[in-house]
Each structure stands twice: as structure tokens, then as C-alpha cells.
Structure 1
């Protein structure tokens, strides 16, 4: 997997990275404990278009999804 770079919107709490591998772009969103990865075919978009897709509105949806993931994990961990 080839690291292209960190995307705008990254912060100490959320790292956003762009990778390329096997004719796909990988947009990886990471917190300290979890990650979300979106795979997008190079046949459908350019690197510039992928970068443009990562808007503040999309990042807010990602953050909400992370909150839900942490809640799910907390519920699972409470069972042990």
C-alpha cells in the first residue's frame, strides 16, 4: 500500500490519510482505538476528486459513526 499523504481535516483526535493500492484509493480515518476505511476505485475518481470528497460535512458523519462505534465497543466490553 502506497501512502499518498495526510488530508485536510486531520487533528490530534482524528487522523485522515490517503493511500493507493490495487487500483483503489483508500481513505483512512483513525482515532486512538478505531479506524474507518473507504475504498474508491481509481476508475471512478481522480486523487483530486477523492480529496474534494472529504468535506467538513462528511468528517462530521465520520465522527458521529466513531461515537457509535465506541458505544458499541463499550457495550461489548461491559459483557466481560
Structure 2
């Protein structure tokens, strides 16, 4: 697995990786993680993969992190 880039972001850790013919977009916030995969032939190299990390995508991912946290806190309260 090759780290293509660490993308600066104030809200989450964003890492772009290359592995086994795919790009992996790895997003991390606290104890939660999201990973997205796209074929290397579906984008124009490393630069094309980085273009996918636009503001709209990262905002949607941040919202998903909030939903993940809420769901996890709810299950801990119900079952903990």
C-alpha cells in the first residue's frame, strides 16, 4: 500500500492511498473511519483522485461522521 497524499483538513484526517489497482480515500475522525475505493483506471492518476476530495464531498463525509457518532452513542445508551 502506497500513501499518495495526506490532505490537510481541519475537521478530519484525510489520506489518499494506492493499493491493488485502486485508490483508497481514507477519512478518520476520532474513533470513526470511512473508506472509499475507486479503480485507478477510473481517474486520471494521482491528481484525478485528489480532485475527488472537493469541499462538497468532505462536507458530506463530515455529516456522515456526525451520524455515525450519534448512532453509536445511542446504542451505548440503550445497551450499555
RMSD, matched Cα? 1.1
Match 1:33 to one of 27, 31, 45? 31
Normalised to the residue count of structure 1, the TM-score between the two structures is: 0.90
Q: Distance in 1 between matches of 2:5 and 2:12?
A: 14
Q: Which ranges of 4 or more aligned residues in structure 1 deviate by more than 6 Å?
A: none
Residues 4 and 46 of structure 2 are in contact (CA less than 8 Å); yes or no, is this contact kept in structure 1? no
Gaps of at least 5 residues in structure 2 are none
The aligned residue for residue 4 of structure 2 is 4
Q: Deviations over 1:2-60 (max 9, x none)?
A: 1112124x22x301001110000001110111010000101111211111111111111
Number of residue equivalences: 78
Higher helix residue share: 2
Residues 6 and 15 of structure 2 are in contact (CA less than 8 Å); yes or no, is this contact kept in structure 1? yes
